[in-house]
Chain A
Amino acid sequence: MNDSIIVGTPLDYGLIIGYFVVVLGFGALFARFTKSTKDFFFGGQRFSWWLIAFSCVATTVGSYSFYKYSSKAFTYGLSSSMTYLNDWFWIPLWAFGWLPIIYFMRITSIPEYFEKRFDRSSRSVATIILLVYMVGYIGINLLTLGKCLNVLLGWPVFGAAALVAAVTGVYVMAGGQTSVIMTDLLQGMLLLVAGFVLLFLGFSALGDEKGLLAGASNFWHLLPPGHRLPFAAFNRPADFNSVGIFWQDAFGNGVAFYFLNQGLVMRFLSARSVREGRKAMFFILLVLMPLAAVAVSNAGWIGKALAAVGLIQVPADLDDIFVVVADALCRPGVFGLVLAALTAALMSTADTLINAVSAVAVNDIYRPYIKPGRSDKHYLSVSRWVSIGTAAVGLMLVPVFGQFGSIYVAHGTFTAAVTPPMAVALLLGVFWNRFTPRAALWTMLGGSLAVGLSFIWPQLITPFAHGTPMFAHGDIAQPSYKAYTYIRALYALAVSAAIGIGVTFFTRPRERDEIKGLTWNTIKDAMLIFKGSAPNLTEGHEVSARPVFVEQAQAGEIDLVQVDPAAMVRMAAKSGDLVHVRDGRRWLGGLKSAHARLGEPDAEPGTCRIPQELAASGSLLKSKRLLIEKII
């Protein structure tokens, strides 16, 4: 494909440039909401569920997703959607176990959890694994988009990657998590829209001027029968079987993504409450992920139908099917929209990772080991520069990853090997009080070693293989590291779990008092620590009130707000409860808001007395009504 470059029209170029300008504008606009490291990394814990949900989908869909899933969709049909629909099983453990722990214990990074739950050695190992994983991931994403723009527009790979790295690094540096969430909202919508535009154009082309419904019907009948099923064959072929993908994606990647991915964890910590975080995850898994599955795969499904009636030529390399279908269906301008969506997919994944690496580097290395005890302003400044540095390091890895024949296989093999031991350590740590610090360390070290050995002796994986072939091309001799690409995850999970459970029975667990708030059955303790007093879990309603800014806060506390007694009753709240106060315009999604504590109820009816300093920190306006919600 590299020698048959498809060059966009000036309109397409204009759209791409305009898109970069809009994204940079977003970064500059939202930089003013970032005043502390809490804002930079966690967006001030103020956002509504829908903002979190859309931005998470933009993070989930990488630039390679359109390429990779279209290729699999062309070859195997609707079963390419499997990986987007297999995460629901984890939601009870995530929503009622992991999310409240990290939220109420104010866990700023995954390594920090490892130190609090286990010890400093575990934290060090976790920090190394996470940094390697995330920086490498940034490099892979930059390379993918560089290659994509090289094919589509003829730009040099490194040059295109450098441009995207620069734009992404700059807006993350300026606005931190707030910019990431706001730009990802835009980018999430853009990539879904572009995906569905392609689908409708495909139906239209197949409808032969009889309308979209006729096109959809023709599409269905042109698909080979085996392509109409949502699951692939159980254990064949080696490069796309459902059992391997189930263990690699639903288990290995699922846990890594929702429990361990620092970027995703930070996104959910930016929600204004645990309940908003749960709502966001619910909407992501139930609505947005199925839509994303269609958006990233449909070029392959449509391509199969178009090829059956001779409307496109099947490319020699099926990775190029997305480009071929987009080129065949899109007019100038629409093609630019699709390019912008691809760029959006990359930037929205890379920005999250850049912000996450910055969080780990500052909170887990710089703050505790290099310059402890400095002001928050100092750490904020360092965080901004680390963001730029991370983008630069990711860019430097582009030529390194460029050496691999296939980006996705290199990345898939890398993540499947790195994440399972850490995933097992985390799950056992959260859901088993008896799990010991020594066991956590050996789970990560021993599990990683076992994975390493499986690259030399893939026969170790055979007992777990469920009959899947060792190599993609039958008996042809291949390097051992290419064996059992997907099912390696089951081997890694099983060996890591065996090590963790075995070592636990021979070592001493931590006292229950030492792990309060850090395991699933001590979440009430976490709430107590978060609030500083007993949590109020009685359900109440949100109230609306007119703000009255006061110079002097009640009892000199700047986070204390007061409402009238009727509002207290409606919220089912008591003095001392934690509340979230936000600008009443719901479409702002909590951008202008602050967390506060309820004082004695002696405000005028229908008003909320709020200290000027608190109002300023939340960018609240005197002229706009407030919405007040009890948190706990």
Chain B
Amino acid sequence: MAWTSFVYNYAVGGVIFIVGMLYAWRQGEVGLATKRMRRNTFGMLGGLLVIFGLQLSFMLLGSSS
């Protein structure tokens, strides 16, 4: 059941995140064209990956022990 929670959290939350990134892209705030856009893009995606990685690690650690 905890895996269902994990998937649901990132599936629904992911939609909000993607919508936000699309808005930011249309404003020219994220993308790969300039240094500022790359910094914003990698910052946003990197942050998401850190939180995702942290929770995934505990899911795997907790499930295996």
Contacts and interface: CB of A to CB of B under 8 A. Distances in A.
Contacts of A220: 65
Size class of the contact patch on chain A:
35 or more
A232 B62 CA distance: 12
Interface in A276-318: 282, 285-286, 290
Given A91-B47, A233-B1, A225 B20 contact: no
In terms of DSSP, what is the predominant structure of the interface of chain B? helix
Given A88-B47, A539-B35, A234 B5 contact: yes
Nearest to A250: B13
B17 A234 contact: no
14 contacts: A89-B13, A90-B16, A91-B44, A92-B20, A96-B29, A96-B30, A96-B40, A230-B6, A231-B6, A234-B5, A242-B5, A246-B5, A246-B13, A285-B47
Interface of B: 1-2, 4-6, 8-9, 12-14, 16-17, 19-21, 23-24, 26-27, 29-30, 35-36, 40, 43-44, 47-48, 50-51, 54-55, 58-59, 61-63, 65
B5 A97 contact: no
B17 A89 contact: yes
A71 to B, nearest CB: 20
Nearest to B19: A93
Interface in A188-226: 220, 225-226
Contacts of A243: 5, 8
B62 A228 contact: yes
Interface string A119-131: 0000000000000
A224 to B, nearest CB: 11
B45 to A, nearest CB: 10
A233 B5 contact: yes
B65 A246 contact: no
The 4 closest A-B pairs by CB, nearest first: A92-B20, A228-B62, A242-B5, A89-B13
A229 B60 CA distance: 8
A267 B55 CA distance: 29
B27 to A, nearest CB: 6
B61 A85 contact: no
Nearest to A241: B5
A94 B19 CA distance: 12
Given A85-B54, A234-B8, A225 B62 contact: yes
B13 A78 contact: no
Contacts of B5: 231-234, 242-243, 246
Interface string A67-106: 0000000000011000001101111111111000000000
B58 to A, nearest CB: 4
A155 interface: no
A238 interface: no
A78 B62 CA distance: 10
Interface of A, helix, strand, loop or mixed by DSSP:
helix
Contacts of A539: 35-36
Contact of B27 (A88, A286, A520): A520
A521 interface: yes
Contacts of B24: 92, 95-97
Contact of B14 (A89, A231, A282): A89
A523 interface: yes
B16 A231 contact: no
A431 interface: yes
Given A90-B16, A231-B9, A246-B13, 19 more contacts: A88-B48, A92-B21, A92-B30, A93-B16, A93-B19, A97-B20, A97-B23, A220-B65, A225-B62, A229-B58, A230-B55, A233-B1, A233-B5, A234-B1, A246-B5, A250-B9, A250-B13, A285-B47, A290-B54
B55 A92 contact: no
A243 B54 CA distance: 20
B27 A92 contact: no
A85 to B, nearest CB: 6
Given A242-B5, A243-B8, A96 B27 contact: yes
A231 B55 contact: yes
B6 to A, nearest CB: 5
